[in-house]
Amino acid sequence: MSKMTLVDQLKSNDSSLTSLSFADKRFNQQKEFADALKSNTTLTRLSICKKTLTKEFCKAFADALKINTTLKSLDFAFNYHYQTASVKAIAGALETNTTLTELNFQNNVLETAGGVAVAGTLERNTTLLTLDLSGNYLKRFGGVPIARAMLSNTTLTKLTIRENFLEKSPGLAFAQVLEINTTLTTLDLADNRLGQDVGIAVAKAMERNTTITSLDVRHNYLGETAGRAFATMLERNSTLTTLNIENNQIGENVTLVIANTGLIHNNTISTLGIRLNYPGDDVTVHIFRSLFSMRNTTLTTLNLENSRLGKNAGILLARQLWTNTTLTELNLGFNTLGENGENGSVAVLEAVLRNTTLTSLNLAHNHLGQNSTKALATLILKNTTLMKLDLSHNNMYQVGRTVHWFPSLDKNTTLTSLNLAYTGLNVLNSVTGVYKYRNFNRLNMITIIAYVLSSDTLRLKTLNLEGNRLGEGFGIALAGRLAKNTVLTSLNLKSNNLESRSFLGETAGEALLRMMETNSTLLTLNLEDNNLGQFVLAEVACTIRRNKRNRLHMKLLKNRIEKIGDDRESIGDLHILPRDILDRITHAERALQLLLA
């Protein structure tokens, strides 16, 4: 009996086919698929992304959307159509569709004509709740009609229209939407060059708006005057819970006003994004005093990435974290807390140990060094709430220091995500390492990291070790330990020089791939840029053949795997399913097909 195709399954209303994604599949038989969808009564979620769609398919798909009564969610992002009329037909079909509630139309080059068609849909459709129109070059004449349609729309609750070059006229039209529309709860206007006048209009409209809970206006050149308007808005608005005003050139003084006036009197904001407005260390001291004052009891997420924070801000933040009981996520990445003796970074790490609510901490790119490792060891050993920790791009290693804190992971029972990319774990990459200690320390790092990953108490699901030059011996030891690990689902070993002789090599690569035959939990393994060589290809094929479990996503870019009469140097990402193997690769595909036959 021949295997049923997707088209056959749709036509026969296969009850097991309720969700379908073509993200990792070829999209052949396009028109036949669209025709089958017309009578299908089982499919509720459909994703057709990053495909070149024919004119015939778009017309047939539009007809299907008019009469299909079961599809509720459609992801149609990043597609290419030969004619604007195709997009208009699909958008127009939604005017009469009565079941679709979620539509992602991101990056479909709608432009003006498509924007007008979508506006018509919004005026007449009464079921759509979520709509994403990001990156469609709507500009002025495509954006204004959509804004006007939202004045009368009474069902849409979430609209994302970022990266559309809207500029002033559509921006002012959306400010009016904020004054009149009473159903929209989430609006994303990021990256639209809105400017100062639109910023002021949006802020004033939000003073009276009582339904919007999430507003994103980042990267819009709002300037200081609009920034002050947002500070005033925060004093008066009582419904907004999430506000993102990142990278708007509002300056130090306005950032201080937002903290000292807006946030002190606001009792609803839980998530605030103000990064890339460069408040500086001294101004941030005042910000922290306001954010963590007794008056503000709602803030749960704070993003201060790339805000020029130094020692003073770190020390004050630490004092506030000792007593704060609301903050759960804190992003301090790309600052300089570790400079000037690391007093700022050490203070923060010690404070997080005492804090009982923080679950996510980002300290990437903060010049953390050896003085922070003792505090880090204590934090990892004793903290019982932190689940996600990012320490990437901090060269914390000096002889003996990394070995000092890493074993504490063995006793940690709460951390689920750890990012240690480019932290100098391997002594061979340490400028302070003494040659006679290299073999000793390298052996310890191999033993300790591999041992920790096989611990029965460890709860890590995601581990990033990218760029640490850990070496061949580490790869082999790690493979042996991971065979017993039952928790880890994602492991990144990119750029660890897993090549022969001085680093990891084909032996280690083969060991890691053989490990996949017994490990039943790891779903993502990144081995990019490790010079594994062509012998690993055969091991990949055997691993796929023997591994009859959940989907496995492997990355093998830059590994000299494919060099058989072809100039390409890698086989790229392998999206691997037991029955759907490598549909995009030339020589590697043929080799795998022979091995899997």
- Identify the CATH number of the domain in which residue 113 sits: 3.80.10.10
* Model pLDDT, residue 406: 67
Q: Tell me, yes or no, if the pTM score tops 0.85.
A: no
Of 133, 165, 197, the one marking the end of a domain is 165
Better-predicted residue by pLDDT, 92 or 193: 193
Residue 277 belongs to a domain: no
Residue 135 belongs to a domain: yes
Residue 14 belongs to a domain: yes
Q: Are 372 and 342 in contact (CB under 8 A)?
A: yes
Which DSSP symbol is given to 275?
T
Residue 414 belongs to a domain: no
Confidence of residue 530 (pLDDT cuts 50, 70, 90): confident
Of 142, 165, 188, the one marking the end of a domain is 165
Q: What is the pLDDT of residues 245-280, one digit of tens each?
A: 988 988 777 776 777 667 777 888 888 888 766 565
Residue 182 belongs to a domain: no
What SS3 string covers 40-75? CCCCCEEECCCCEECHHHHHHHHHHHHHCCCCCEEE
Residue 23 has pLDDT above 60, yes or no: yes
Two tokens, residue 109: 């080059």
What does the mean pLDDT of the chain come to?
Answer: 80
Handedness of CA 277, 282, 285, 286 (dihedral sign): negative
Q: What is the pLDDT of residues 211-241, one digit of tens each?
A: 999 999 999 999 999 999 998 999 999 999 9
- Strand 45-47 versus strand 73-75 pairing type: parallel
Return the top range by mean pLDDT from 23-32, 293-302, 357-366. 357-366
- Integer Cα distance of 258 and 235 in angstroms: 9
Better-predicted residue by pLDDT, 176 or 424: 176
* Model pLDDT, residue 287: 64
| Out of 204-213, 383-392, 584-593, least confident range | 584-593
Q: What 3-state DSSP class applies to 466?
A: coil
Closest CA to 451 of 415, 406, 420: 406
Residue 499 belongs to a domain: yes
Confidence of residue 6 (pLDDT cuts 50, 70, 90): confident
Residues spanned by the domain of 538: 471-597
Mean pLDDT of all residues in 329-358:
88
Burial class (CB in 10 A: 0-12, 13-18, 19+), 238: exposed
Two tokens, residue 8: 């056959």
Residue 144 host element (H or E):
helix 139-152
Return the percentage of the chain with pLDDT > 70, whole number: 75
Q: What 3-state DSSP class applies to 23?
A: coil
Residue entry with tokens 């690993």: 536
- Integer Cα distance of 225 and 228 in angstroms: 5
Return the percentage of the chain with pLDDT > 90, whole number: 40
Number of domains in the chain: 2
Residue 42 belongs to a domain: yes
Better-predicted residue by pLDDT, 580 or 292: 292
* Model pLDDT, residue 253: 73
CB atoms within 10 A of CB 183: 12
Mean pLDDT of all residues in 45-72:
92
Which DSSP symbol is given to 524?
E
Q: What is the pLDDT of residues 471-500, one digit of tens each?
A: 777 787 788 878 878 889 999 999 887 764
Two tokens, residue 241: 């819970």
Instruction: Give per-residue burial for 483-514: e unless 16+ CB within 10 Å, then b.
Output: bebeebebbbbbbbbbbeeebbbbbbbbbbbb
Of 126, 141, 165, the one marking the end of a domain is 165
Mean pLDDT of all residues in 509-530:
80
Residue 136 belongs to a domain: yes
- Integer Cα distance of 457 and 409 in angstroms: 9
Phi/psi of residue 408, each to 5°? -65, -20
Two tokens, residue 27: 């999209």
Q: What is the pLDDT of residues 123-156, one digit of tens each?
A: 999 999 999 999 999 999 999 999 999 999 999 9
Phi/psi of residue 47, each to 5°? -125, 115
Question: What radius of gyration do the chain's Cα atoms show?
Answer: 27
